[in-house]
Amino acid sequence: MVRILIVDDSEFFRETMKEILEDEGYTIAGEACDGAEAIAKYRELRPDITTMDVTMPVMDGIEALKNILELDPDAKVIMASSSAQQSKVSEALILGAYEFLPKPFDRDRILAVISEIINGVL
């Protein structure tokens, strides 16, 4: 059973991601609305995959990604953002994010990336 942590300051995008993933049979381990909460939830829940918004209050997704990868260098984090700032996307991928998903979410793309991670393609 694949357990996924969803991190986004937008309840709408958290719910959208949750619906897509649950419809495919994935388990939502938890949700967080900022980077600081994401680190705490990651530490507590140890999900198999984390989806992380780039732009959030308190702590952004880039800082949260750095912290999560320090906790667990094998963490599988997929970054997402509606404001696809190329420098932030590049930074996240260089730091060790598995992939970047633009918003609004494309159901097939999300499921393809999750499948690639599970099957060890990425």
Per the domain annotation, does 2 fall within a domain?
no
* CB neighbour list of residue 62: distance below 8 Å, 6 or more residues apart: 54, 88, 91, 92, 95
Q: What pLDDT, on the 0 to 100 scale, is given for residue 85? A: 67
Q: Model's pTM, two decimal places?
A: 0.92
**85-92 contacts: CB < 8 A, separation 24 or more?**
85/54, 88/54, 88/55, 88/62, 89/54, 91/62, 92/54, 92/61, 92/62, 92/65
Per the domain annotation, does 115 fall within a domain?
no
The sign of the CA dihedral 60, 75, 37, 110 is: positive
Lowest mean pLDDT among 45-49, 59-63, 68-72, 91-95: 91-95
Output the domain CATH number for residue 74: 3.40.50.2300
Q: What is the largest CA-CA distance in the chain?
A: 34
Per the domain annotation, does 41 fall within a domain?
yes
Per the domain annotation, does 27 fall within a domain?
yes
Residue tagged 């099957």 (tokens): 119
Q: Residue 83 pLDDT more than 70?
A: no
* pLDDT per position as a tens digit, 17-36: 999 999 999 999 999 999 99
Domain membership of residue 31 as a residue range: 8-105
Q: What pLDDT, on the 0 to 100 scale, is given for residue 84? A: 59
Number of domains the chain contains: 1
Per the domain annotation, does 37 fall within a domain?
yes
